[in-house]
Amino acid sequence: RCSVDNRVTRVAWLNRSSILYAGNDKWCLDPRVVLLANTKTQYSIQIQDVDVYDEGPYTCSVQTDNHPKTSRVHLIVQVSPKITQISSDISINEGGNVSLICIATGRPDPTITWRHISPKAVGFISEDEYLEITGITREQSGEYECSASNDVSAPVVQRVKVTVNYPPYISDAKNTGVPVGQKGILLCEASAVPSADFQWYKDDKRLAEGQKGLKVENKAFFSRLTFFNVSEQDYGNYTCVASNQLGNTNASMILYGE
């Protein structure tokens, strides 16, 4: 907007050195630039669908009693943040190093932060485009969120999944007492990424699925060995072996009579 009075004889709007409007006459070819008002008090133009290239100085030039006067306004164009590049999901062995990157555009330049989506995580773990984790642990697996913010609009967020592989660790293996003729269960719990494969041995002999009177159930984090009708011959020492491509571990447990 440009305020004028009745002493003004000529008016024009310029963008840098290019004339946009002179009086009612349009000099620019851009259809987005339109004349809003040319009255005794106001000479105004409008730029529709503003683009970053519209940023810069605009000059209102008026002629009064043969004395030209100008007033200048600077248009600042703001752009919402947009994440243009972000790391792909990654799988890495425990102890390895991870580098994540998140690049965003916007005007003004957005602030980029990383945080770990975890119940134990507190606050940001990085306040720039890069997130470096050295000697990663299994507790650091999960989703990492990149946020780009510049106060023009709500922050934009994207996530990267980090999978940390580690060898099996048997967390629970208990001796069990069961009377003859009853149902008995031995349980072997193991955490591992990727999930562990389980095998059962009695002394040095491997127990096969479908063996008479036995059932082996293998799940992602445990294996269950069931005896439907415990006999004296079933009592003894059993070994559970949990393995994945990173290693294996075993635990022994005793099935005994009460």
**DSSP calls for 232-246:** GGG-EEEEEEEEETT
Longest CA–CA span in the chain (Å) reads 120
Place of tokens 């792909």: 88
Strands 111-117 and 142-149: antiparallel
What is the token pair recorded at 202?
A: 């009695």
Please report, for the chain, the start and end positions of each structural domain, with discontinuous segments joined by +: 2-75, 80-166, 174-256
pLDDT of residue 19: 96
pLDDT of residue 45: 97
CATH of domain 2-75: 2.60.40.10
pLDDT of residue 141: 93
pLDDT of residue 104: 97
pLDDT of residue 34: 97
Q: What are the residue ranges in the chain where pLDDT is below 70? A: none
pLDDT of residue 155: 96
pLDDT of residue 125: 86
Q: Do domains 2-75 and 80-166 have the same CATH topology?
A: yes
pLDDT of residue 70: 93
Identify the CATH homologous superfamily for domain 174-256: Immunoglobulins (2.60.40.10)
Identify the CATH homologous superfamily for domain 80-166: Immunoglobulins (2.60.40.10)
Q: Phi, psi (5° rounding) for residue 76?
A: -110, 120
pLDDT of residue 209: 73
